[in-house]
Structure 1
Amino acid sequence: MPLPESRTIPDLLKEQAARYRDVEALVGGQQRFTYTSLHERVKAFARGLMALGLGKGSRIAILMGNTPEWVIADLAICSIGGVMISVNTWIRSRELVYILDHSDADALIFVDRFLKYDYAAMLGELEPHQQTLPRLQRLIHVGESGYPGSTRFEDVFLLGTNVPPEELDRLSASIDPEDFAYVLYTSGSTSTPKGVQLRHYPLIENMWHLGNRMHVVPGDRLWLAVSLYWATGCENALFNALTHGACMVLQEHFEPAEALRLIEAERCTLFYGMANMAQQLYEHPDRAKRDLSSLRSGGTSGSPEQIQRVVELGAKEICHIYGLTETYGNCNVSDGRLDPRDKVFASVGKPLPCVIQRIARPDTLEPCAVGEVGEIQVKRFASIGYYKDDEHNRHAYTQDGYLKTGDLGHYDDEGYLYFRGRIKEMIKTGGINVAPAEVEDILRQQRGVALAYVVGVPDPVRDQIVGAVIVPDGSVGEAELEQSLRTELRKLLAAYKLPKLYRFVEESKLTLTSTGKLQKNRLFEFFQDAHA
């Protein structure tokens, strides 16, 4: 299908509303919107934001679960030339004040409570706002309860009736495709979160190429329980759907029984979820009672065994995705329909057609040969820098303009990319580097192993030794499995790469980030007894 002509988000909404009119665009809870009604709702809310004194350059944060209000607010902010700041729903007071202050947020759109989090109470902990958040001028709340002085979300639409539509049209027309639309804050597992700046036109173009790789067509229905605040939600899923005339079916937060019900009831065709979600859906007793035959394609990441679970759920054309927030969601995607199965499962696919990418030696920046592991570096599309963070910007880019992802990988002779872990995860044992991904690949091929992860464990003699965390498949006892692994790996790996320590755990014991990714830096905890 043709690339949309639009290069800004308000123009995209206008173009797709004219093209798809009565096609459903957004479903969440009891609310349903066609492309026409979504466009009208976004414009009405945008005019309300203008009535509150917000406009081009305003920086407006969103804090809530996956609801239509999130999407409407996001698109309205972009339609007035503002910058949308997404806030992690797992946030604490300390992190909230940091992000609102660092981002220079002029306004916050929030729900008072979500799951166990009381955001209104958090705002109270930040008083007096005039001192802690001097730039924050507006609070807008979803629902009946809010915070003293905040405006109801629904009342924003009423305020907008006083703003002529032509004023919004003029403001939207003044937006340049190169203008910033988003600042998304990374998780900050090792430091304070970094604000990734993203522009209008790459959100459109990159996601259109992504959807083409997934063979998305008008009328497809994308199940989304991955949080909208995360890049997979508000970059990847949202603009994949919008550029292809598809519908986003929102689940406010992930719960497997409800997810199975929703996929069946809404006849979702696209699966968007992480490995831990697929595991819970696969193992849930309701799966046998639900008709998931509508599933076809979508995106996920994980080991070949984890991706196979998604196939068995019904998404036989599932695509293996790779990317960072900084690379507009995804830069590499396997083609679940056309690529050979081994390429879909083991590789993360070829770069999208719009992407400029290379594998380089981190120390010299010389290009790596086919099969040689180096750093994955991306020039297009990539964020041009972190907001108010000159220190990180100095180290994040090469002199010739490539983003240094910090990820390791290699190409095969057909141009498929194989992810090989993080540079920071490299294990140094006896002065020699060991890539965890190489050992993990060998371990996962062994009988009795469902999942395998490798981490460096401090050692007084070798600096580090290799520790292996194994999720058994249940076919072999742990003692027998460990002996078998030690025997077989001696035949396959150099001595310095061999795991010296093994730990056997249930998959549910693996610690995940708020976005469903494995926290590899927490694997060391399984070896604390050995370290002591």
Structure 2
Amino acid sequence: MTPGEDHVSRLVARTSSAHAAPRPIPEGPGTVDAAVRIAAAQWPRREALVGRHARYNFAALHARVEGATRFLASLGLAQGDRLAATAVNDTELVVAFLAAMRLGLIWVGIGRALTMRERAEMLLDCGARVYLADAETLAKRAEAGDAPLPLTLGLIPGDPDCDWSRGLALDWPAASYAPPDPLAPAAIAYTSGTTGSPKGAVHSQHNIVALAAANRAFGRAGQWEPSLRRGVALPLTILNLMALGPVTALVNGSACVCMDRIDALGIAEWVKAEGIQTFAGAPTTIHDLLTRPDIDQSKLASLILPTAGGGHVTDDLRALYRARFGVELGTGYGLTEAMAGVAETDPDGASPAGSCGRAYPHIEIGIDRGDGVAAVSDEPGEIRVRAVRKGPWAHVYSPMLGYWERPEATREALRDGWLYTGDIGALDGNGYLTIKDRRNDLIIRGGANIYPAEIERILAAEPGVRAGVVVGLADERLGERVVAVIEADGTVAAAHLEQALRARCSAGLARYKHPEFYLFVDALPRNAMNKVIKARVKELVAGQLAGD
């Protein structure tokens, strides 16, 4: 028995789910580490990974990963141990992830937008043995309070004297480790916490690679071509982004550019400098890229197919995108537990208005009306997903293995071979999915179900609204009352904007769905993916309106 093998076995048992073991990936590597080795053998001199301070071809990346693996092994890390990291997007963050996969560790990405107390809670929850931290994190360690931190090492891009750089500069002996198990826990992806305390979704290397291989096989036309130069602006500490960026590039044999700026101006600089052709950003970022007067559009000449996610896409943005790129803006549906996207709109614009598209060919989407019975066409219910049952990709796809150390939550989410998402949606007769809302966000007013997302789409269409969020306020008589919290762009006075929004809701919504109260804020609370944190919005509403 290899070192740590019994520990990994316990982890597998602890996070085991109700779905059966998946089938091998068609024409794809079985593990992330296999993808690194295959890419180095097939395309050794082809550019693989680019950052502000380094660039690697596939052969050099393989060598760098081997050095990092030896360094991590020298720290006493073995299969099943948790390695956590917080850092800006950079080549070394990716190298650390790939080395963790080679050694059979469990990777835990922790976002820079979190407070030190929030990070410390995650580190304690997952039992991380080592924490790779950027300069800002090292400076803020005291803010963790009394919460214990694991061994913390500096991973600071461009700093040859940080712990990571000095560790890799040494000639460590070859590490002794068994090939990673593709089905064992390989990463913990904490949920965004939009509806409460974050939970750690556990994924295997099979899950991660299957996503990358499926993108190559089924992705939106042109989006996953190996020749495309892909950038990653959203945080690579988010597992989905690590899979959609560097791992997909490894499987494709294409270049991945780690962009360390998330603002539109910084992204424009990266696009010009590296000839980036596609990247994923928040809808507001894509809008700013195409409209800000201080961004020279000539800098975006190489950009041909950016995508948007994590927020509502307005008709205005769709028109801007269509005029600039000649195709429809691709949007879709995904979640941390499902290993990124499960549905996407048609590139020719055939998806019905308000739809997030159809399931990828390797995934089946179902709607449970609440009693384990499938809903009929257009009937709302809880969205559930699983692998398709027929064809070359039958039983290949796999969602999370479970929630870390949360067996009850795991049993609730993984039932009868399905992943229950907690989202409310409906499928039409052609398989197009429309999201109604999060189950936990549902507002029940006087016994009537109200889906906030339906109202939010109405609010977002009004000029002067940058973003709008709808939440419920507890009420003794009605149960809940509807409240709209508006982030305005400053072009319209709040009083006039509220009047316009009330008129728009009157024209487009049944009376019982109309927001009774409007709050205007300078900025809505958001997470690293630029998604609004509804739990904090609800706290804001409760604090300001509870006495009304």
- TM-score, L = length of structure 1: 0.84
Letter in 2 for 1:236: L
Matched, 1:251 2:265: no
Contact 2:232–2:241 at 8 Å: present in 1 too?
yes
Deviations 1:255-295 (A, max 9, x none): 33221111122111112111232344344333235431322
Structure 1 residues 315 and 19: CA distance shift in structure 2, 3 A:
farther
Q: Determine the structure 2 residue equivalent to 1:395.
A: 412
Secondary structure at the residue paired with 1:304? coil
Q: Determine the structure 1 residue equivalent to 2:249.
A: 241
Matched, 1:229 2:237: yes
Structure 1 window deviating more from structure 2 (383-392 vs 484-493): it is 484-493
Q: Determine the structure 2 residue equivalent to 1:52.
A: 75
Secondary structure at the residue paired with 1:287? coil
Q: Determine the structure 2 residue equivalent to 1:213.
A: 219
Q: Determine the structure 1 residue equivalent to 2:280.
A: 272
Contact 1:264–1:292 at 8 Å: present in 2 too?
yes
Q: Determine the structure 1 residue equivalent to 2:9.
A: none
Letter in 1 for 2:363: V
Q: Determine the structure 2 residue equivalent to 1:513.
A: 527
Letter in 1 for 2:166: D
Secondary structure at the residue paired with 1:510? coil
Give the alignment partner of residue 366 of structure 1, picking from 370, 373, 376: 373
Structure 1 residues 207 and 84: CA distance shift in structure 2, 3 A:
same
Give the alignment partner of residue 196 of structure 1, picking from 188, 201, 204: 201
Q: Determine the structure 2 residue equivalent to 1:493.
A: 509
Deviation at 1:75, TM superposition (A): 0.2
Contact 1:45–1:160 at 8 Å: present in 2 too?
no
After TM superposition, the structure 1 = structure 2 runs for residues 463-482 of structure 1, keeping only pairs within 5 Å, are 463-469=479-485
RMSD (Å) for aligned C-alpha atoms = 3.3
Matched, 1:20 2:51: no
Contact 1:210–1:333 at 8 Å: present in 2 too?
no
Secondary structure at the residue paired with 2:215? helix
Contact 1:208–1:243 at 8 Å: present in 2 too?
yes
Contact 2:138–2:154 at 8 Å: present in 1 too?
no
Letter in 1 for 2:111: N
- TM-score, L = length of structure 2: 0.82
After TM superposition, the structure 1 = structure 2 runs for residues 300-449 of structure 1, keeping only pairs within 5 Å, are 300-301=308-309, 302-305=311-314, 307-308=317-318, 314=325, 316=327, 318-336=329-347, 338-340=348-350, 342-343=351-352, 346-362=354-370, 364-380=371-387, 381-398=398-415, 400-443=416-459
Deviations 1:310-362 (A, max 9, x none): 556658454213211111111112243x442x54x732221122223311123
Structure 1 residues 435 and 293: CA distance shift in structure 2, 3 A:
same
Query: Which structure 1 segments of 5+ residues have no match?
Result: none
Q: Distance in 2 between matches of 1:42 and 1:514?
A: 27
Structure 1 window deviating more from structure 2 (244-253 vs 435-444): it is 435-444
Q: Distance in 2 between matches of 1:198 and 1:416?
A: 27
Q: Distance in 2 between matches of 1:477 and 1:191?
A: 33
Q: Determine the structure 1 residue equivalent to 2:10.
A: none
Matched, 1:162 2:167: no
Q: Distance in 2 between matches of 1:51 and 1:255?
A: 38
Q: Determine the structure 2 residue equivalent to 1:178.
A: 183
Letter in 1 for 2:253: G
Q: Distance in 2 between matches of 1:312 and 1:17?
A: 40
Structure 1 window deviating more from structure 2 (477-486 vs 231-240): it is 477-486
Deviation at 1:138, TM superposition (A): 6.9
Contact 2:458–2:504 at 8 Å: present in 1 too?
no
Q: Distance in 2 between matches of 1:313 and 1:489?
A: 31
Contact 2:133–2:152 at 8 Å: present in 1 too?
no
Letter in 2 for 1:252: D
Compare relative contact order (CA 8 Å, sep 6+) and give the higher one, 1 or 2.
2
Secondary structure at the residue paired with 1:38? helix
Structure 1 window deviating more from structure 2 (99-108 vs 493-502): it is 493-502
Q: Distance in 1 between matches of 2:425 and 2:144?
A: 44
Deviations 1:213-241 (A, max 9, x none): 13311131222221111134223333332
Q: Distance in 2 between matches of 1:443 and 1:121?
A: 39
Give the alignment partner of residue 287 of structure 1, picking from 272, 292, 295: 295
Contact 2:194–2:532 at 8 Å: present in 1 too?
no
Deviation at 1:376, TM superposition (A): 0.9
Q: Distance in 1 between matches of 2:340 and 2:329?
A: 17
Secondary structure at the residue paired with 1:420? strand
Structure 1 residues 58 and 358: CA distance shift in structure 2, 3 A:
same
Deviation at 1:36, TM superposition (A): 2.0
Q: Distance in 2 between matches of 1:332 and 1:460?
A: 39
Letter in 2 for 1:213: G
Structure 1 residues 290 and 177: CA distance shift in structure 2, 3 A:
same
Letter in 2 for 1:23: R
Q: Distance in 2 between matches of 1:369 and 1:475?
A: 44
Give the alignment partner of residue 94 of structure 1, picking from 111, 117, 126: 117
Q: Determine the structure 1 residue equivalent to 2:31.
A: 8
Contact 2:342–2:359 at 8 Å: present in 1 too?
yes
Contact 1:328–1:383 at 8 Å: present in 2 too?
yes
Deviation at 1:388, TM superposition (A): 1.3
Structure 1 residues 238 and 361: CA distance shift in structure 2, 3 A:
farther
Letter in 2 for 1:264: K
Query: Which structure 2 segments of 5+ residues have no match?
Result: 1-24, 388-397
Deviation at 1:206, TM superposition (A): 1.9
